[in-house]
Amino acid sequence: MSAQLPPTPESAVKTSMARRTALAAALAVPVGGLLAHPAVAAATPPQARPAHRAEATDAADPDFGPHVIVFDPSTPGIQARLDEVFRQQESAQFGTGRWALLLKPGTYSGLNAQLGFYTSIMGLGLSPDDTHINGDVTVDAGWFGGNATQNFWRSAENLSLAPVSGTNRWAVSQAAPFRRMHVRGDLNLSPDGYGWASGGYIADSRIDGTVRPYSQQQWYTRDSAVGGWLNGVWNMVQSGVEGAPADAFPDPPYTTLETTPVSREKPFLHFDGGEYRVFVPALRTEARGTSWGRGTPQGESLSLSAFHIAKEGDSAESINAALAQGLNLLLTPGVYHLDRPIEVGRANTVVLGIGYPTLVPGGGAAALRTADVDGIRLAGILVDAGPVNSPVLVEIGPEGAGAAHAANPTTVQDLFVRIGGAGAGRATTSIVVNSDHTIVDHTWVWRADHGDGVGWETNRADYGVVVNGDDVLATGLFVEHFNKYDVQWNGERGRTVFYQNEKAYDAPDQAAIQNGSTRGYAAYKVADHVTAHEGWGLGSYCYYNVAPSIVQEHGFAAPTVPGVRFHHLLVVSLGGQGQYAHVVNGTGAPTSGTATVPSTVVSYP
């Protein structure tokens, strides 16, 4: 993502931000007999540890490894330690450092936790208010000249903040969730000076004051409460948010759903009764507001003794052995080189990553696969494609899955996929969802447009997300730059609440993207046989800077039948680099000229 907006003073925001002119800047071994995927032979990295029977985790004093730092209010030198991690990570966009900062319940005064790349800060209470900071958790963009469009891969969770100035700054773009937070003041989503930003995601949070997006191009907020909302640029979507602005798309560009159809919050670590535990929140239907604001949250608390703690250097064989023993999995910060997929075959297994643990499959293997069983929870994982093409990187349920999971679906949260950028990488399809009723809650699936190993064929990746399962719900879907369809939806009764996309920047010419008789592959394609599908607040942008004469036929393609419906669609040509002829199918005005102004469709058909 590198689309940008010019800095805008607050005095001008209220009257003009909805129509600002944008400037574009280039910038398997089976487990328990449940899965039948063969292992892919590849050399095991020399540092990988041999498989062994997992030992029980000491829940009172677990070994989290060297890149997890645990604080309590009496810990000396907290600010200095936070600053040291930030210095390492501030500009390390494609570095190997990974950090998780854990704060035990209590009150911390005078802190400013600045977060760089691959850094997560998390409170360890059952409620955000159990861990309170008289201070800030800050993301800004000084490292990139005030441009926050590359502030990826960092997170804040389960904390209460009383910002020193009254406003906490969280200037981020994709893959930077703000979950289960209580801000006792305002929240600013833009860099200092109102520079460019392109985020973002909030869930299960309470902002007592006003959320101030300023230059943020798009944002999704779910199951939260806000004291106010200042402005919108292109696509601001809220579902289940108390205090959200009224539905008004396209001017201002607000898409507001009173509730979220189905949701379940991300599992999280907490410290209680002298031991570490993982809380697994319960499923909610037609949710509105936070899960924690009306007393004890609903769900199940699991002792960390029921988890295998994996560390950098562990092999897929040893991790799979622990899963086969019936243990859950906690992935600690690090880069994990895998010669075969991690196989999750048991119902209700929790696989939780902290500090952006990164799975890198070798030899064309997948990184992770699940069985078609109830209630698997996958959260907090980054997957990097390896240099040998993987047919698929993450597979939710095997091909042909058909079991019903409505009462206890698999939930995929903060799962991020990257092809290229950190080095050479290729994958035909990034994520395939085969299991029915799966909830995909916040994912950024990215074929890199900058960094190392980047080029139209160098980091070839045809498809971002392919959904084959029925009744799948996506909330907060970010998918960018794929060579063909970014999202291809084949299952029935699918639903998406918020979608952000950019088509691949680097297409060399019109012929390279030709799709039969159609000019280009849609950013979001609903298969022709589908009879029921619905989406709210979906946007696609193009920036064909290599071949600006390219015409993209449409951002969205779907069968024109009564059961397939879209609400609030937009397409944008960034600086006139390429053009959309239509928004959805043959409907919607073309983008034109060099003005970065959205073409919108309020409802379709």
**Do 505 and 1 contact (CB within 8 A), yes or no?**
no
Nearest to 495 by CA among 452, 524, 454: 524
Three-state secondary-structure class, residue 584: strand
Pairing of β 518-519 and β 514-515: antiparallel
**Do 303 and 327 contact (CB within 8 A), yes or no?**
no
**Do 67 and 102 contact (CB within 8 A), yes or no?**
no
Q: Which residues carry out catalysis?
A: 502
Tokens encoding 327: 């243990």
Q: How far is CA 512 from CA 182, 360, 390, 504, 508, in A?
A: 47, 29, 22, 11, 6
**Do 370 and 378 contact (CB within 8 A), yes or no?**
yes
Question: d(Cα 169, Cα 194) in Å, to the nearest integer?
Answer: 11
> How many CA atoms are closer than 13 Å to the CA of 169, on its beta-carbon side?
22
**Do 309 and 332 contact (CB within 8 A), yes or no?**
yes
Question: d(Cα 89, Cα 369) in Å, to the nearest integer?
Answer: 30
Question: d(Cα 442, Cα 414) in Å, to the nearest integer?
Answer: 5
Question: d(Cα 353, Cα 99) in Å, to the nearest integer?
Answer: 11
Tokens encoding 390: 């993987």
Residues in CB range of 264: below 8 A, 6 or more apart: 281, 282, 283, 284, 409, 411, 439, 441
Question: d(Cα 174, Cα 359) in Å, to the nearest integer?
Answer: 19
Q: Provide the residue type at 119 as one letter.
A: T
* Paired strand residues for 67: none
Tokens encoding 325: 């023993």
Is the torsion defined by CA of 275, 277, 108, 67 positive or negative? positive
CA Rg, the chain, in Å?
A: 22
DSSP one-letter code for 196? -
Give first-to-last CA distance, the chain, whole Å.
30
> How many CA atoms are closer than 13 Å to the CA of 426, on its beta-carbon side?
12
Question: d(Cα 62, Cα 71) in Å, to the nearest integer?
Answer: 14
**Do 194 and 215 contact (CB within 8 A), yes or no?**
yes
Helix, strand, coil % in the chain, rounded to nearest 5: 10, 40, 50
Task: Please spell the DSSP secondary structure of 132-167, one letter per residue.
Answer: EEEEEEEB--GGGTT--TT--SEEEES-EE--TTSE
Pairing of β 328-331 and β 579-584: unpaired
Three-state secondary-structure class, residue 242: strand
